[in-house]
Amino acid sequence: MAEARQILSLNRFDGDAAPDLSGSVAALVKRRNATFGASSVLFYREPLEIVRAEGVWMYDSSGRRFLDVYNNVPSVGHSHPRVAEAIARQAATLNTNTRYLYDNIHTYAERLLASFPSELSNVVFTCTGSESNDLALQLARGFTGGMGVIVTEMAYHGNTTAVSEVSPSSFRTRAVPPYVRTVPAPDNYADPVEDVGARFALHVKWAINDLEKNGYKFAALLVDSIFSSDGIYADPPGFLKAAVDVVHRAGGLFIADEVQPGFGRTGTHMWGFQRHGAKADIVTMGKPMGNGFPMGGVVTRPDILTPFCENTGYFNTFGGNPVAAAAGLAVLDVLRDEGLMENARVVGDYFRAGLRALSGRFPAIGDVRGAGLFTGVEFSRPGTREPDADMATYVINAMKDEGILIGAAGQHANTLKVRPPLCFTKEHADIFFAALEKVLAARA
Amino acid sequence: MAEARQILSLNRFDGDAAPDLSGSVAALVKRRNATFGASSVLFYREPLEIVRAEGVWMYDSSGRRFLDVYNNVPSVGHSHPRVAEAIARQAATLNTNTRYLYDNIHTYAERLLASFPSELSNVVFTCTGSESNDLALQLARGFTGGMGVIVTEMAYHGNTTAVSEVSPSSFRTRAVPPYVRTVPAPDNYADPVEDVGARFALHVKWAINDLEKNGYKFAALLVDSIFSSDGIYADPPGFLKAAVDVVHRAGGLFIADEVQPGFGRTGTHMWGFQRHGAKADIVTMGKPMGNGFPMGGVVTRPDILTPFCENTGYFNTFGGNPVAAAAGLAVLDVLRDEGLMENARVVGDYFRAGLRALSGRFPAIGDVRGAGLFTGVEFSRPGTREPDADMATYVINAMKDEGILIGAAGQHANTLKVRPPLCFTKEHADIFFAALEKVLAARA
């Protein structure tokens, strides 16, 4: 989810400062606090009780509907009937593990791998993006013999012990272990340069040198190519390639975390690393893979996977089970049959064009950026590029009052993170524009 | 799955030594090798292609049925209609994350926590047993400020980086990091003593002392109370308490890994640690929780969870989603409505009594042990207690030819691990006895 702590702190339900909650919400919050305890974190100053969802719409317990421009897990649309039916049919027939043969996981593995460059010919199935990134770290460290990993300053790659170590946004202190280095995100808005890719590559090179100087052999650069938790940095396409080339020249691996940009979201390519013309050594997947069914995967080269399997091996009880395969196949079918990648490209461009038009009238909108249906809207103090997190928080809560669900990202939590289900249309974008205009005008 | 490497090496499909496979199996193996690569590990010298499963029965592509006494994931029975229907209904309605309120996860949390001692009042939902154990390690290390963890010699607790470190059976070398200590399993067959609990507690005490002597503060004892991967050691009930008391006196925590014994499998208690009268500080769950739907959980005390949430926090995108909650609730309903815990007790006792009767005629059966529907059958060279792994391998493959699916466990892979779905009946046990008798007679 890439929710950095301070982002949540700006947009979370605070029990102590709670408004008067309505009956059923208040009762649920009370029950929740009793069981979830301190781990309970809810979106919004006044949390939402959701009872059903369909396509791009979520419905609360009062019957009110909300346009969902936040959730990228139900990537082909909430409760998509083809995915739900595939899950239902398979769950009633067979759900076991990959120590037995069954046809659909192999069909799925072949369909999935066909979308990758040919050298990435092996897949290991997991249940979550966290498990995928944890396995990727094991593979990269095993292959290189190094511990050193480079990530961006606000990276979030998951929740296991090892993955938390490479997810500085998870920790209040942002501290990372001595074998991890962080590099600044490729932010060409706050701090523009002519060649953002060259700058990013230089930071990666410095980080590699610093790791090696301190006795930590370099293993991998691990990034999400849309830089979701850092604030969404997509352009220009290809900028990431220079850094990946630096990584390869240093003998390291590039782990492409495709949990956010993967499965066609960026509009022109199935995988975000392809948009940058970069050569990935390990690719990790999660969230949108099963449209909400818990599944993830790691795609890599046999020369990376084989030695790991000989020394340690990997088995994931639920990973690649036939219900996951059925869900995953249905997602690929819907992506193809409904033309969702192309839709992401067309509607994404329309969406950013509309937002840029609005930014002319509302100087609080400092920057609009992204690719396909992943857009960042950065709020700045007018006339400056100084981050305005208060405005982002205001907009998020005011948009909710207008019936639109949205979140924030970035180091200063001042960037709206807009990543709706891929069935989002121009009509939905128009609803968003009208609401944003109203919300910004009220504050102007 | 707790498959130690050498166990699999005794009972896995070996492509190089493959028998002549039939058409559809051969084709699937070929497709599988092309995509799964070195990570492909299949049960049996001649792998099974499974197409459907129901209750305790799995059906292969030729229409042959197999009595499943191996798989504990579909704990209330393969493809149980109530679980499948609950998943189907919820997947078509709403599948989102716990940043929103929705009723069924809170009902599930309450129902689940009601089965625990009252001090274990908080739950965090994950997707797998591995994620649960990884979070448990984070909690225990955060709470104690120590890194030191004690596990059994053949422990398997999962596949993340951190959990692999406490799963010596995962590694060819069995090497563990310097902050992990292994203790011998409470094996009162190979090496009997009067008080197996006192001996186990003494080993734990020595391990704590050794950790601290080497500068590693003790954090936790992490064990599966049925000692599944070590070879299944259940008796006498209560023997684990002495070790747990040692742990608590040393300021450490006891993490009860309930992936194997939990959800009523041991017949007399919902959770394995309760059978030992031991006080658990953190309880981890996985496999049987959703009858195959990927879900796991960690139950603990608020004083352990709260500081972790303040420093790091934990969010799991798929964890506790409404479909998982629906599956989990259906599992609890079926356990109750079909009386499966009591069934596990009654049929488990019947099963072991029958096996002990057989052991009188077949001296290869050295020991029969277990609790509820988790039974170990240890093969020894007649007249000795020397492990006979060849016999176990023979039995597993010969039983498959008789239509019964089973696996092995333990350091020497000479112990049958019998843990069928909990709807296993005396009639199913009789089928097992007849087949085992035939198989052993053929070798005698």
Contact B96 A87 (CB under 8 A): no
In Å, how far are A242, A319, A428, A434 from A270, measured between CA atoms? 21, 22, 23, 31
Pairwise pLDDT comparison (B89 vs A5), residue with the higher score: B89
| Contact residues on chain A for B119, CB-CB shorter than 8 A | none
| Contact residues on chain B for A294, CB-CB shorter than 8 A | 127, 293-295, 318, 321, 324
User: pLDDT at position B19, please?
Assistant: 61
Q: Are strands B365-371 and B296-300 parallel, antiparallel or unpaired?
A: unpaired
Which residue in B98, B134, B318 is closest to A161 by CB distance?
B134
β-sheet with B374-379: strand ranges across: B365-371, B374-379, B415-418, B407-409
- Could you read off the pLDDT of A30-89 as tens digits, one per residue? 999 999 999 998 888 889 999 999 999 999 999 999 999 999 999 999 999 999 999 999
- Could you read off the pLDDT of B227-255 as tens digits, one per residue? 999 999 999 999 999 999 999 999 999 99
E strand or H helix at A173: none
In Å, how far are A84, A235, B71, B342, B427 from B350, measured between CA atoms? 41, 68, 19, 12, 10
Supply the angle between the helices A81-91 and A322-337 in degrees, to the nearest 10: 160
Which residue in B28, B35, B79 is closest to A94 by CB distance?
B79
pLDDT mean over B379-383: 95
| Contact residues on chain B for A23, CB-CB shorter than 8 A | none
Asked whether the domain spanning B81-337 has the same topology as the one spanning B5-76+339-443, the reply is no
Three-state SS letters, chain B: CCCCHHHHHHCECCHHHCCCCCHHHHHHHHHHHHHHHHHCCCECCCCCEEEEEEECEEEECCCCEEEECCCCCCCCCECCHHHHHHHHHHHCCCCCCCCCECHHHHHHHHHHHCCCCCCCCEEEEECCHHHHHHHHHHHHHHHHCCCEEEEECCCCCCCCHHHHHCCHHHCCCCCCCCCEEEECCCCCCCCCCCCHHHHHHHHHHHHHHHHHHCCCCEEEEEECCCCCCCCCCCCCCCCCHHHHHHHHHCCCEEEEECCCCCCCCCCCCCCHHHHCCCCCCEEEECHHHHECECCEEEEECHHHHHHHHHHCCCCCCCCCCHHHHHHHHHHHHHHHHCCHHHHHHHHHHHHHHHHHHHHHHCCCEEEEEEECCEEEEEEECCCCCCECHHHHHHHHHHHHHCCEECEEECCCCCEEEECCCCCCCHHHHHHHHHHHHHHHHHHC
Q: Which of A192, A188, A178, A185 is nearest to A155 (CA)?
A: A185
Instruction: Kindly report which listed range (B10-19, B186-195, B295-304, B431-440) carries the lowest average pLDDT score.
Output: B10-19
Which residue in B47, B305, B315 is closest to A159 by CB distance?
B315
Q: What is the ipTM of this complex?
A: 0.96
| Burial status of residue B282 (CB atoms within 10 A of its CB: 0-12, 13-18, 19 or more) | buried
Q: Where are the domains of chain A?
A: 5-76+339-443, 81-337
pLDDT mean over B78-99: 98
Residue B2 zone, left/alpha/beta (φ > 0; ψ -120 to 50; rest) = left
Protein fold of A81-337: Aspartate Aminotransferase; domain 2 (3.40.640)
| Weakly modelled stretches of chain A, pLDDT under 50 | 1-7, 9
User: pLDDT at position B4, please?
Assistant: 45
Residue B282, token pair as written in the block: 């953190």
How far does the CA of residue B351 sit from the closest CA of chain A (Å)? 24
Residues A345, A132: Cα–Cα separation, whole Å:
27
Rounding to the nearest 10 degrees, give the CA dihedral for residues B408, B412, B414, B420.
-20
| Contact residues on chain B for A321, CB-CB shorter than 8 A | 292, 294
User: pLDDT at position B15, please?
Assistant: 64
Give the chain A residue whose CA is nearest to the CA of B25.
A101
Q: Which of B273, B327, B260, B347 is nearest to B73 (CA)?
A: B260
Residue B366, token pair as written in the block: 């050295």
Residue A372, token pair as written in the block: 């396909």
User: pLDDT at position A10, please?
Assistant: 53
At residue B18 the predicted structure's pLDDT band, cuts being 50, 70 and 90, is low
Q: Which CATH class is domain A5-76+339-443?
A: alpha beta
